[in-house]
Structure formats: structure tokens, C-alpha cells
A and B are shown apart, each in its own frame.
Chain A
């Protein structure tokens, strides 16, 4: 607003001028008397002036108006879900120093799931919560896809007004990943002018929907990119990798940078039909053969330039023999389909069971494990994993069991890990649990909870299992809450247990129960089902 122009004898500016200099030096027009009387007169005049200014203030003129946000036709959240989101967002930053103690549920673990379910249900975020939602997405990149989808057009509209939320415009760039010709130009501009992270994100996104377009984009500027950037861009071709990428990758085998060459070779070896895979298969075949009912290994004696060009690293890491190092690389880059043909038409199971002469077995099996993971071959992964080791047997991992498990179908994975935990407890299961599908299958959840109960009975402190507890809060099926609740009740000290452990365990189970129940309530709220919570805390 602005003050109305003075129409009195003395203007406001005149008064301010006199006030600044003082009436000893400058007396306002029309004010009489000595300096002191003039000062009082100035104050009187100013008092009248300020009242006229304030009482007569006029509206200012409106500045530039932003175009209104596009309409979001998705349904709003059910009331309970809306206030739940407000709580989760308010609690987001609250857990810093709290640690993993106490019986209260851990809300920070719930936000990602809340967002992902709300997105799947097709809700729109409540406008009042958009600023908090955008702040949350800004702080945690893992929340961004779901948070921005939920925020919708109004979220983007808001983000365009605030530089702090610029990330939303990049990540949620409408149409940039749809291959829409109208946006092709926009995509091109982002690729050419964007920051490195924006470009990687763009490439990865585009690979999901239109791998060829992404490759074309990359090929167009490939020669001008810095070596580190080339490596990262090349890495994003893993998504949507196909035979169509082979010519480009073959060319990259001649790259100036060793790391780029190695990555190109690795990608080519994941394409069983590629020329590189064929060359590696030929080399690997010459090293591995059947003699009677055993496998004979004749590792390479040299790493020739052709091998090096195909991505074989000539220098082994310290502590490993050169020949074993080269062999490993040849075998893990060769298509797994090479082996049944080479080894008497046997199945992967039969091949893995074959004895390997001269102690080459660990090297050969480890290489097959890497190949199975790289080529995402479930048959081979299953064969190499074998059944979970028996309770009495030592756990000798072939390769990386978690990675091999990740190739298997969900149900099979969960069953394998459940069996493993039943036999060996939790101490070696953490990584395997991490690759299981969420929520955990009932048998897997039961195995984890039973193992926690056994660990408690053994008298150790719960924080030795805080990693698994944290996973359980996120991954256990909410239906398991009652099973856990039973455990939280028992709190008697064990005679041979660590002091106070029983109380801490009880607290830990209470927290887990609380989190699980909250997750169940939260999911019910999102489906708009009221009053699903049992009045457990209420008076009878």
C-alpha cells in the first residue's frame, strides 16, 4: 500500500527532513517558537501526518500474477490419512539423536511406505502439506519419486516458485521421459545444458521407456564427454541393455579410459549373443574341459592384447595368482549357455556337482556365480546356491549368496532365507534379508521373529540385532504384529543373561509391535477404512 499525497501545508517529506537535521538547524515551514517549541510543534504536525498517512493509505497495485496451477482431478486423502501424513512429515527430522532405544514406534521408517502406497492408490496430496512434502523430498532423494508423484501438478507449480524446490522440476520433468515428440526438444536441451546429475537421471529415466533414444542421445555427445562422466553414462546403459547397444559398446572397447573399456566389456558380456561374449566363451572353453567325470582346468598362461582389449585386466590384485585371475575373468564373461554343451550336456546342477581337479573349484565356482548374477540366470543361481546349509554344517558361502538370491523368484528367495535363518540364526542373514521382497512372506517373517526370540533367550543385548530390528520395522508384514506383541510381554531377567537385557528386549519388541500396528493402521487409513485399530490401550 502507499500513503496518500499530503495536501496540508507541510508535506511529510518536509517533516522528515527537519526531523533528520533537528529543529536547531532546520525548522519546518509554518512551525514557530524557539528550537524546543519548534521540536514539539514538529512532533504535533508529524502526529497528524502519520495518522493521515495511515488512515488514508491506498491499496498498492498488484504485481505479476502466476498462472494458476493446473487442476488435479485425483481424489483427496481420507481425513485420517491426511493427518497421519502431517504427523509423519512433522516427525521427519525428529529422530537425529534418539538412537534405537525406547518403546515408541519409529515414524521415520514409515514415511517411505506411506508415500508409496498413497501414490499407488492414486491420491493427490493435501495442498496445505505440499511445502512440508517438498522439503522432505528435498532432504531424502529416496522419497522423491513417490513424493513428487503425490504432489502432482500443484506441487510442480509451487516448486517453480521456490528455488529450494528446483529439484522437483528436474526429477519430475513432465514428459521428459515419455518420448513425447513435443518434449524431445526439451529432453535434448536438458541433456545438453543440464548438470551432471540431471543428465545421469535423464539418461536413466529415458532408458526405462525408450532405450534407443537414450543411446542416441549419449552417442551424439559421447566424444566430448569427460572420462569420469563417460564411465557414469555408460553405467546407466545397464538399464534396458539389449543387443541394440552392442555396436556402441564394441566401439567403447577402444576407449582411452581403462575403466570405460572395462565397463563396456562387462556390459557386452552380459549380452550372451554379443561378439565379445562369443570371443570370451571361446577362450573360457579352451580352459575348462571334461576328463572322465571331473572337470580339468587349464588356466591361461598369458594375457594377450586381444584379451586386454576385451576387458580382461592383466594385473591381479595383490595376493592373487595371475593365472587364476585371468581364468576368473574369462569364465565370468562367457555366456553360461557355453557350459552344458561343453560339459557333456549336463544341467547346471549336475555341472556344479562335478568334482574339479587340482583345487580349481573355488575359482571356477566363484566365476560362475558372478556370471549368473551378471546374466541374471536363475537356473545357475539356484544350482550354485544349493539348498541352505544344514544347521550343523559350517556356512561356507560360494560367491555372494545375497546377490545370487536376488536372481531367484520372490517366493523361492523368501523360503531359502527362512530355511537359512532357522538353521543358522540371524548373524549372517542381514544381507540376505535385504534382498527379500517387502513385505516379507509369512514364513520368512516367522523365521526372523523366532530367531530374535531365540537370541533373547540366549541372553544377549538387543542392540546386537538392531540392524535386523530396523529391517523388521520396515519389512515385516503388519499381520505379524500380534506374534511380536506376545514377545514384548515377557520381561523376566534370565539368570545367565546380560544385566537389564530382558527390559531392553521387551522395549525393542514393543517398539516393533507399535511400528507394525501403526503400519497396519496407516494402510487401513489410506484405504479409507476407519476404526480398524483394536482398542488395546483402552479401559475395559
Chain B
């Protein structure tokens, strides 16, 4: 019996961790190398002929989604899973038809089901740490170390401003790397990250002293905020803790109050540095006019495990991280809905979007990416920087990403709806709905 709406080929391809996997997956989207392919419930499986004598066993649980393949690839999902899903996406008349689960698939799905049930049962136990005393002592020790780091950083920043920024563009990264390393030692990864970014500001040219002063002042505000956290209102103190790099366990969060909703997956994209791949997934519940940001991480060169197809609607429970500005969330129990949105969500004009960012900055001064939905906007090409402009007023915002040709092609000079991250230097468009398109198209 089939209970799951099949995804579109685009949604499958959007799961690919990189362009090479996308190509390799598309190549395997032909029946020739596959045997024993089938689908039942939320499971899709098949055997794919590889270079060896034994075919790879590939299975996908489209709830989750979760992937399993006996191939040696470190890519996630691997090309076999993508190829299989592409065949599945061709529909019930396609090469992946309803069938009974073979043993090896059944074992995997039942193991998964068991794990999920345990996980759902677990929060009750995880809500309180096993040894509250030991946990409090650990937390106190860390707070002391972070305070030390914050105080040291404060001293460095005042020294910097006493001597002047003028030499900063000649200075090497080395001094910044050194300070960043000190912040890592002090268990304040959020400070370390901002320090490293500060070191790269002079190289960006243009009006770098102004940007450098902005970033220095925000870093100062964050360090001071932590040192004076006792005097801050609760939610702001939580925001400061989160920005410093204190994390909250997802299971613990989900054990607390959750928000249930029908979430549209607006965008998913990865950014990577030498240590970590970070995946950002933006969700939007139109009924409640609420955004949520899911973060998931993978070791260097590996794609994070959580992946949701752009344009899908999921029914899910989310738990927001404590903050003055609830945005980042942990994903709880969820399932994909067979329904698809029938219209683009309603957005605002540029002015109100910018005003919402202004209000948000007052709550969280360190805010870099504020989600905005813009209606009736047009991308305007420019020699250096593109703009996104209201179709009927003179208002425009700069686009920070390199020439967004796909967005321009979708628009053709006509107004469309755009989802973007708004930051201090402008917009990063992530998805667009041309007129009459009910589902977001990644740009």
C-alpha cells in the first residue's frame, strides 16, 4: 500500500550534497542497473549494480528522510539513493512500483521505527540530567572560563581602539587567529568565530574602517553582555549565551514546550569551512506567520544528515531555542504532507521588511540573517551589485550574492515573490515564486 506522495525530481535533486552527486545520481536514474526496486509505506528500496560482484543495497525512508546504502561513499545521501529516488519520483506507473518489503529492508525500517519510538520516549528521561549536581558544577566551571575569555577579549578590543584601527589592514591574520584560539580555549566558540571574521574585514576593502568599527563594537557588546548577564532580562541573556556559543541539547528542548504547525520548506543550503559543513533549512508556517531555522552540521567534507525537500509541506513539532528572538529551532516528530501549497505565501513590500529587521536587531543586535518574504519585487541587474526593488515604489535593497541569474530568469523583469535572508549589508535571495507558481523555486 502506498501512503506517501511521491516527490518531484527537483525535490530529489535538491537533496544532493553537491553538484557531482546530482550528476551521478541522475545517471543512475535509469532502470538498467537496478533490480528488485520497490516501495511500501514510507520505504523505497532497490539493488544497484556497482563495480563489484555484489549489488549495493539502497534503501530510503522518505519520512525523515533517512538513507541507507551498502556502497562505500561518504556522500550523504549517496548517488544510489538519489538515482533510486529519481526513479521513484517518476510515479506509480514508473519503474519503482508498490511491492512487499524484502527482509533486508524490513530489518532496517523496523530498527528505525524502534529507535524513533525510543527517542520519543527518551525526552522524559533526558529532561533532567542524571546527576544535577555534577551538571551544575560543570556549567559553573564553563561560565568561569567564558568569563575569563570575555574579559581578555574586552582588554584586547580596548587596546586595539587605543592604538587605532589604522594599522589593521597591514596586520596579519595571525594576531586574530591567536585571539580566536584563546576564545576556543575559553569554550566560547561564538566569540572565536566573530574574532576570525573581524580579522578578515580589512581585506574586504572599500569602507572597511566603518565596518571594522561596527564588528568591533558588536563583539564588545557581546563580551560585555556576558560579563553583565545577571543584569539582563532573561530572554536577552539567553540570546547572549547562544551567540557566545552555549548550545542546548535538542532532546532537552523538545521535552519542553513545542510548537506544532504545517511548515513549508522554503530553502536549504550549505556553507562549509575547513572544520564543518553547516546546513541551514528555513521553514515557514503561513497560518501562524512564523519562521523557523533548522541548523544541522556535518564533519568537514561530509554533508549534514538532516535534509528536507524545498517546496514540501511538513507537519512538525518544533522547539525554539531560548532567545529574545525565537528563530532557531529543533525538529521534533514530523511527517511530510501529501498536500502541496496552492498559492505563494503573502509577503510584504521592501519598507516593512526592512522595518521588521530593524525591530529584530533591537532584540538581537548580533542578528545576521533575518528571514523576509517579499511580494511584488523585481531583481534589477547592476554592474557591481544587483538590487531587489519594489515593483511600484522606488524602494530597493542591495543583493549581496553574485549575479542571481536564475532569479532574473524567473522574473523576466516582472514582479515576483521572493524569500530572502536580510542582513546588515543586504539581501540573499533563496527562493522565488513567479506569478502563478504555488511552490518555491530555489534560486
A positions within 8 Å CB-CB of B: 1, 12, 15-16, 19-25, 35-36, 38-40, 42-44, 46-47, 49-51, 53-69, 79-80, 83, 86-87, 90-91, 94, 103-105, 107, 127-131, 154, 157-158, 161-162, 510-511, 513-514, 517-518, 530-531, 533, 535-539
| Contacts known (A19-B164, A54-B424, A128-B409); A60 close to B221, Cβ less than 8 A | no
Given pairs A47-B220, A55-B358, A63-B389, 12 additional interface contacts (CB within 8 A):
A44-B220, A47-B365, A56-B358, A83-B89, A90-B26, A158-B412, A514-B31, A531-B93, A531-B94, A533-B95, A535-B94, A537-B32
Of B7-15, B185-193, B266-274, B298-306, which binds chain A? B7-15
B10, B86, B441 — most chain A CB neighbours (10 Å)? B10
Taking residues whose C-beta sits less than 8 angstroms from the other chain, chain B's interface range is 35 or more
12 A-B pairs, CB-CB below 8 angstroms?
A15-B213, A39-B157, A56-B358, A59-B395, A64-B380, A83-B9, A90-B26, A128-B406, A535-B95, A535-B96, A536-B31, A538-B95
**Residues in A neighbouring B213, C-beta threshold 8 A:** 15-16, 19, 46, 50
Give the Cβ gap from B296 to chain A, nearest Cβ, in Å: 24
Tell me whether B405 and A54 are in contact (CB under 8 A). Answer: no
Within 8 A of A (CB), among B149-200: 154, 157-166
Give the Cβ gap from A536 to chain B, nearest Cβ, in Å: 5
What mask results when residues 345 to 387 of chain B are scored 1 for a CB within 8 Å of chain A, else 0? 0000011001001110110010000000000001011100001
Within 8 A of A (CB), among B384-429: 387, 389-390, 394-398, 403, 405-406, 408-410, 412-414, 424, 426
Tell me whether B217 and A24 are in contact (CB under 8 A). Answer: no
**Residues in B neighbouring A54, C-beta threshold 8 A:** 357-358, 361, 365, 424
| Contacts known (A46-B216, A537-B31); A130 close to B409, Cβ less than 8 A | yes
What mask results when residues 419 to 443 of chain B are scored 1 for a CB within 8 Å of chain A, else 0? 0000010100000001000000100
Tell me whether A20 and B166 are in contact (CB under 8 A). Answer: yes
Give the Cβ gap from B92 to chain A, nearest Cβ, in Å: 8
Tell me whether A157 and B350 are in contact (CB under 8 A). Answer: no
Residue of A nearest to B24 (CB): A94
Contact of B8 (CB < 8 Å), options: A38, A56, A83, A162: A83
Tell me whether B380 and A94 are in contact (CB under 8 A). Answer: no
**Residues in B neighbouring A535, C-beta threshold 8 A:** 31, 93-97
Question: Is B62 on the interface with A (CB-CB < 8 A)?
Answer: no
- Bound complex: CA A162 to CA B395 (Å): 24
Give the Cβ gap from A132 to chain B, nearest Cβ, in Å: 9
Contact of B359 (CB < 8 Å), options: A55, A127, A129: A55
Tell me whether A66 and B413 are in contact (CB under 8 A). Answer: yes
A51, A58, A83, A130 — most chain B CB neighbours (10 Å)? A83
B positions within 8 Å CB-CB of A: 8-10, 13, 19-20, 22-24, 26-38, 46, 49, 86-87, 89-91, 93-97, 99-100, 102, 154, 157-166, 209-210, 212-214, 216-218, 220-221, 350-351, 354, 357-359, 361-362, 365, 378, 380-382, 387, 389-390, 394-398, 403, 405-406, 408-410, 412-414, 424, 426, 434, 441
- Bound complex: CA A104 to CA B209 (Å): 55
- Bound complex: CA A83 to CA B434 (Å): 18
Contact of B217 (CB < 8 Å), options: A46, A128, A161, A539: A46
Contact of A86 (CB < 8 Å), options: B10, B20, B27: B10
Tell me whether A537 and B35 are in contact (CB under 8 A). Answer: yes
| Contacts known (A1-B426, A43-B217, A68-B413); A61 close to B395, Cβ less than 8 A | yes
**Residues in B neighbouring A42, C-beta threshold 8 A:** 161
Tell me whether B31 and A517 are in contact (CB under 8 A). Answer: yes
- Bound complex: CA A20 to CA B398 (Å): 27
Tell me whether B91 and A530 are in contact (CB under 8 A). Answer: yes
Tell me whether A538 and B32 are in contact (CB under 8 A). Answer: no
**Residues in B neighbouring A129, C-beta threshold 8 A:** 409
Contact of B362 (CB < 8 Å), options: A15, A44, A55, A127: A55
- How many contacts A-B (CB < 8 Å)? 249
Tell me whether A127 and B409 are in contact (CB under 8 A). Answer: yes
Tell me whether A25 and B36 are in contact (CB under 8 A). Answer: no
Residue of A nearest to B215 (CB): A50
**Residues in A neighbouring B357, C-beta threshold 8 A:** 54, 57
Residue of A nearest to B20 (CB): A94
**Residues in B neighbouring A536, C-beta threshold 8 A:** 31, 95
**Residues in A neighbouring B159, C-beta threshold 8 A:** 39
Tell me whether B217 and A23 are in contact (CB under 8 A). Answer: no
| Contacts known (A22-B163, A51-B365); A161 close to B9, Cβ less than 8 A | no
Tell me whether B22 and A90 are in contact (CB under 8 A). Answer: yes
Give the Cβ gap from B12 to chain A, nearest Cβ, in Å: 9
**Residues in A neighbouring B166, C-beta threshold 8 A:** 20-22
Closest 9 CB pairs of A and B: A22-B164, A531-B93, A537-B31, A68-B413, A83-B9, A46-B217, A69-B412, A59-B395, A62-B389
Tell me whether A68 and B414 are in contact (CB under 8 A). Answer: yes
Tell me whether B389 and A65 are in contact (CB under 8 A). Answer: yes
| Contacts known (A53-B214, A62-B389); A69 close to B413, Cβ less than 8 A | yes
Give the Cβ gap from B324 to chain A, nearest Cβ, in Å: 14
Tell me whether A94 and B396 are in contact (CB under 8 A). Answer: no
- Bound complex: CA A262 to CA B357 (Å): 74
Tell me whether A158 and B405 are in contact (CB under 8 A). Answer: yes
| Contacts known (A15-B213, A39-B162, A531-B94); A131 close to B27, Cβ less than 8 A | no
- Bound complex: CA A127 to CA B395 (Å): 26
- Bound complex: CA A513 to CA B33 (Å): 11
**Residues in A neighbouring B96, C-beta threshold 8 A:** 535, 537-538
Give the Cβ gap from B418 to chain A, nearest Cβ, in Å: 14
Tell me whether A539 and B165 are in contact (CB under 8 A). Answer: no
